[in-house]
Structure 1
Amino acid sequence: MSFQHLIPLWLTVLLLAPMLLACLVLLVRRPRQRLAWLRRALMVVLLVIVALRPVTLLEGESTQRMNANVFFVVDRTGSMNAEDYDGARPRLDGVRADMHQIMDMTQGARYSIIGFDSSATTQLPLTTDAGAASAWIDTLTTEQTRYSKGSNVDRPLDTLLRGISEAKSTDPDSSVIVYVLSDGENTDGKDSETFSAVAQFTDGGGVLGYGTPEGGPMKAVGGETDGQYITDSSGAQGLSRIDETQLQTIAGQMGVPYIHRTAPGGDLAPTMEGITLRPIQTTARQRTPSFDDHSWIPAIPLAVLFVWELAALTYRLPRRLERGDFTRQDPHAGEAQ
């Protein structure tokens, strides 16, 4: 048994020791309220235990890094809400499913996520924390519709080049695997810059396309029209259509396959062709720290005592108000006029 303090020990003592001392003094000095002050003292003791956070350390599972750096380039523009994936589901559903599938294929790799909409940013720097990557995937949304300023699939190009060139330089023994997940639709009226420079740093990956040539309607995100279908300038329902020609061009420039994704699952093996994942040789195996947290045990009776205290205060409040009203009456109110 050991302790993983929720707050520093000195702060626990500074805050809770005076409270406990006050409860014990009043427990002795107010015998008619002894039960109430005993309850409050016990609440403070239980709060101390929760703050100390008793835990039992567990032997963590050994983890080894694999020789792969996986970069996800994710389209977060409003068109990725278009409902023409796997029937009438939003395209982002497909992106989430495919990113999880790729992570299953590359367990132990390092992951980085670059998101782009009206701008491009590194959402997750290169890390072995697969949990952080999964959490980002599960909460993936598009940009708010009112902030959209037009999009182009080349927007993340500079950010991607910086990331993969640095990974290749600092970790030359690992493969760089890049996945671009998009519908390929440009709405800024400009031609896309070439992705040819990516090829020199890339060992595998793919361009994954979402949507249909017929297109799908999309709902607005944020603002007064949140959840409503977007309309065009004529008032008709707006449609977003996949640009497979654009996506195929990018895949050719990068030297990776293009795959049209229409439903969860399916074969992504071509994106890993020629890549063999193996553990990176290190002087020691890292262990993932873990423990059983027992702070919930004192938290249960603490919650019960808190409800008891609240109920007792609520029960006494009307009586106190009545006594207060009586004592504040005009002492001369009963005298004859």
Structure 2
Amino acid sequence: MTPQFLFPWWLIALLMVPMAALCLLLLVRRPRQRWSWLRRLLMVLLLAVVLVRPSTPLDGLPTQRMNANVFFVVDRTGSMNAEDYAEGAPRLDGVKADMRRIMQMTEGSRYSIIAFDSVAAQQLPLTTDAGAAEAWIDTLTTEPTAYSRGSNVDRARTTLITALQETRAEDPDSSILVYVFSDGENTDGQESEAFSPAAQFVDGGAVLGYGTAQGGRMRAQGGATDGEYITDGSGAEGRSVIDENQLKTIAGQMGVPYLHRTDPEAAIEGTMEGIELKAVPLESSTRARSFEDWYWVASIPLALLFLWELGEMTRRLPRDQQRDQQRATDSRGEGQRR
């Protein structure tokens, strides 16, 4: 155990020692209140343990990272709810599975997530915190159906190119991998702008397509119709169909392969050809000393004793008031007799 003092040790001693001594003294001198003062003594000792903060030192954890910056470009439009992936699952289930698979392939890299629906935004800046990326994946849903303004796969284009330019300038020695997850469907009636300007920054990755030529039904997201299947203006069943030509065009413009994804267990091949992941040189990394805290072991009984003390004070309050009133009455009676 190693103490990690919350305050300077001398200040903790200055506060805790007199309090413990007072409780010990009253514990001896007031036998009728022995249990109350024993409880208070234990509270002081437990509080001292919390302030000392006993910890177990862990091995120094290297903050080195792998020499890759991985960008996920994720389609969150309503069509990604279409149920034509892996035996009727929503397309977004495939996106989540593939994102996790790629993170396993590139473990230790930096990750960034750019999502697009009616608008595009970098929802996770480049970070080595894989847990943050995992948390984002866990909560991934499509945009609320009521807010949809049509879709176009080029919505993330400008945000992506800007992020790639900044990353190349800031970290020129690391590889850049870009993975685009979409069904390629455009419903806004506009032609998609080319992703060609991104090619000069991209070292690897892929465009991953979801959906089938037969298409799938989509459930509404949010609002009064949440979970219901979407219908068109005539009341007919709405269906979304993958546009593989669009996705292949984007892949060709960026110089990465296109993969049609229908099975979460299928390999994501050819996306890292010629890229060798290795740790960033030691001189550009640091080592962080870390500890496992144990003060919570004392804080739990401390909280229980505090609640006990609070209950005792609440129970005694009416009796103390009654006793004070009785003393005041006796004093007035004594004064009248005189």
Scaled to the shorter chain, the TM-score interval is 0.7 to 0.9
Q: 1: CA distance between counterparts of 2:285 and 2:98?
A: 30
Post-superposition offset of 1:127: 1.8
1:276 aligns to what SS in structure 2?
coil
Q: 1: CA distance between counterparts of 2:146 and 2:7?
A: 48
- Residue aligning to 1:67: 67
Post-superposition offset of 1:161: 0.4
1:141 aligns to what SS in structure 2?
coil
Q: Mark the CA change 1:234 to 1:305 in structure 2 (over 3 Å): closer, same or farther.
A: farther
- Residue aligning to 1:335: none
1:299 aligns to what SS in structure 2?
helix
Structure 1 residues without counterparts, runs of 5 or longer: 328-337
Q: 1: CA distance between counterparts of 2:229 and 2:53?
A: 49
Q: 1: CA distance between counterparts of 2:119 and 2:203?
A: 26
- Residue aligning to 1:76: 76
What letter matches 1:181 in structure 2?
F
Q: 2: CA distance between counterparts of 1:79 and 1:313?
A: 61
Asked whether the 8 Å contact 1:101–1:265 carries over to 2, the reply is no
Q: 1: CA distance between counterparts of 2:223 and 2:31?
A: 60
Q: 1: CA distance between counterparts of 2:55 and 2:309?
A: 28
2:184 is the alignment partner of 1:184:
yes
Does 294-303 or 205-214 show the bigger shift?
294-303
Q: Mark the CA change 1:154 to 1:302 in structure 2 (over 3 Å): closer, same or farther.
A: same
Q: 2: CA distance between counterparts of 1:232 and 1:107?
A: 43
- 1:96-128 alpha-carbon deviations (Å, 9 max, x no partner): 111111111112222111111111111111122
Asked whether the 8 Å contact 1:75–1:182 carries over to 2, the reply is yes
Does 282-291 or 113-122 show the bigger shift?
282-291
Q: 1: CA distance between counterparts of 2:37 and 2:222?
A: 51
- Residue aligning to 2:146: 146
Post-superposition offset of 1:288: 4.4
- 1:46-73 alpha-carbon deviations (Å, 9 max, x no partner): 3564465432221134353222111111
- Residue aligning to 1:244: 244
Asked whether the 8 Å contact 2:210–2:260 carries over to 1, the reply is yes
Q: 2: CA distance between counterparts of 1:52 and 1:123?
A: 39
2:154 aligns to what SS in structure 1?
coil
Runs of 4+ in 1 over 4 A off after TM superposition: 2-5, 27-34, 306-314
Q: 2: CA distance between counterparts of 1:53 and 1:220?
A: 50
Asked whether the 8 Å contact 1:208–1:259 carries over to 2, the reply is yes
- 1:109-168 alpha-carbon deviations (Å, 9 max, x no partner): 221111111111111111222222222222222222222222211011111001111212
Q: Mark the CA change 1:150 to 1:285 in structure 2 (over 3 Å): closer, same or farther.
A: same
How many residue pairs were aligned?
318
Post-superposition offset of 1:300: 3.5
TM-score when scaled to structure 2? Answer: 0.80
Asked whether the 8 Å contact 2:19–2:44 carries over to 1, the reply is no
Larger Rg: 2
Q: Where in structure 2 are the equivalents of 1:316-335 lying within 5 Å? A: none
- Residue aligning to 1:234: 234
Post-superposition offset of 1:307: 6.3
Post-superposition offset of 1:9: 4.0
Q: Mark the CA change 1:223 to 1:56 in structure 2 (over 3 Å): closer, same or farther.
A: same
Post-superposition offset of 1:263: 1.6
Asked whether the 8 Å contact 1:98–1:264 carries over to 2, the reply is yes
Q: Mark the CA change 1:280 to 1:84 in structure 2 (over 3 Å): closer, same or farther.
A: same
Q: 2: CA distance between counterparts of 1:144 and 1:44?
A: 53
What letter matches 1:127 in structure 2?
T
Q: 2: CA distance between counterparts of 1:161 and 1:175?
A: 15
2:176 aligns to what SS in structure 1?
strand
What letter matches 1:296 in structure 2?
W
- Residue aligning to 1:291: 291
Q: 2: CA distance between counterparts of 1:226 and 1:40?
A: 55
What letter matches 1:105 in structure 2?
M
- Residue aligning to 1:264: 264
2:283 aligns to what SS in structure 1?
coil
Q: Mark the CA change 1:220 to 1:289 in structure 2 (over 3 Å): closer, same or farther.
A: farther
Structure 2 residues without counterparts, runs of 5 or longer: 326-338
Q: 2: CA distance between counterparts of 1:187 and 1:147?
A: 14
Q: 2: CA distance between counterparts of 1:36 and 1:224?
A: 57
What letter matches 2:242 in structure 1?
I
Q: 2: CA distance between counterparts of 1:187 and 1:161?
A: 23
Q: 1: CA distance between counterparts of 2:216 and 2:53?
A: 51
2:219 aligns to what SS in structure 1?
coil
Q: 2: CA distance between counterparts of 1:313 and 1:95?
A: 58
Q: 1: CA distance between counterparts of 2:231 and 2:7?
A: 58
Q: Mark the CA change 1:223 to 1:302 in structure 2 (over 3 Å): closer, same or farther.
A: farther
Does 261-270 or 213-222 show the bigger shift?
213-222
1:229 aligns to what SS in structure 2?
coil
